[in-house]
Amino acid sequence: MPESDLETVAEICFASDWPEVRRVQREIEQALAPFAFPDRDQFYIKIALEEALVNAVKHGNRLDPLKCVRLRYTITADRFEAHIADEGCGFDPAHVPDPCAPENLERPSGRGLLLIRKFMTTVEYHGRGNCMSMAKVRTAS
Partner 1 sequence: MSTARRPRITFEDIGDVTVVKFTDKKILEEQAIQNIGDDLFKLVDELGRKKLLLDFTTVEFLSSAALGKLIRLHQRLATGGGKLILCGISKTIMEIFELTKLDKMLKIVKDEQTGLNAF
Q: What is the Cα–Cα distance from 131 to 124, expressed in whole angstroms?
A: 9
**Which of these ranges, 3-11, 26-34, 38-46, 130-138, lies near partner 1 under the rule CB under 8 A?**
38-46
For residues 17 and 78, which CB has a smaller minimum distance to partner 1 in the complex?
17
Q: What is residue 7's three-state secondary structure? A: strand
**Which of these ranges, 5-13, 75-83, 109-117, 124-132, lies near partner 1 under the rule CB under 8 A?**
109-117
Q: Is residue 126 within 8 Å of 112, Cβ to Cβ?
A: no
Amino acid letter, 64: D
**Cα 91-97-101 angle, rounded to 5 deg:** 160
26 is a contact residue toward partner 1 (CB under 8 A):
no
The DSSP code for 140 is P
Q: What is the Cα–Cα distance from 50 to 114, expressed in whole angstroms?
A: 13
Per-residue interface string for the shown chain with partner 1, residues 110-139, x marking contact by CB under 8 A? -xx-xx--x---------------------
For residues 3 and 39, which CB has a smaller minimum distance to partner 1 in the complex?
39
Question: Which spans of this chain sit near partner 1 (rule: CB under 8 A)?
Answer: 18, 22, 40, 43, 46-47, 50-51, 54, 58, 99-100, 105-109, 111-112, 114-115, 118
